[in-house]
Amino acid sequence: ETEATIPMTVADTRAFLDTRPITDYLEPSGDIAAPVGFEILAGTWPNPGAVRRVELEDGHYVIERVLEDRADFFAYQLWVFTNDVGRGVEQIVGEMRFTPVDSGTVFNWQYKVKPRNACTASFVRRQKDGSEDYLGSGIAAWAQAARAAAES
């Protein structure tokens, strides 16, 4: 599952995400290592155009750039993969949507993966379940923390 309902307003959900980043809740899944550190390379995070290096627990890293940051939407690009993902993937665009509903906010997180070429497209398709598990486990743990914070 790449979606969760949080019993907070959109603004409160975004504020919680800023103070308790979902990256703190990601667990390794298949070939995907969890992030363990960040280094700002350019700009001010999370302003559009800001770039940071994401250190992974397996010793590799990726570069991440903010594409858009609005109250209801956050998009970023991952590229320069130093692990095996870089052989088949040109870039990943992550999108986080925050939709107000009667019970709070629906938080949705998706990856759009662009293969390097037609030959690597099948490799990318085979990785889809692993990336959905990665996002889903992160969302589940983060949403649990957000719900607990909303109740306190």
Residue 1 pLDDT > 70, yes or no? no
Question: For residue 55, what are the contacts with CB-CB under 8 A and spacing of at least 6?
Answer: 35, 36, 37, 38, 39, 61
- Encoded tokens for 16: 């919680």
Residue pLDDT, tens place only, 12-49: 999 999 999 999 999 888 778 899 999 999 999 999 99
- Residue-by-residue DSSP string for 11-28: HHHHHHHHHS-GGGG---
Per-residue pLDDT tens digits for 94-111: 999 999 999 999 999 998
Q: Kindly report the average pLDDT of the chain as a whole number.
A: 91
pLDDT at site 129: 67
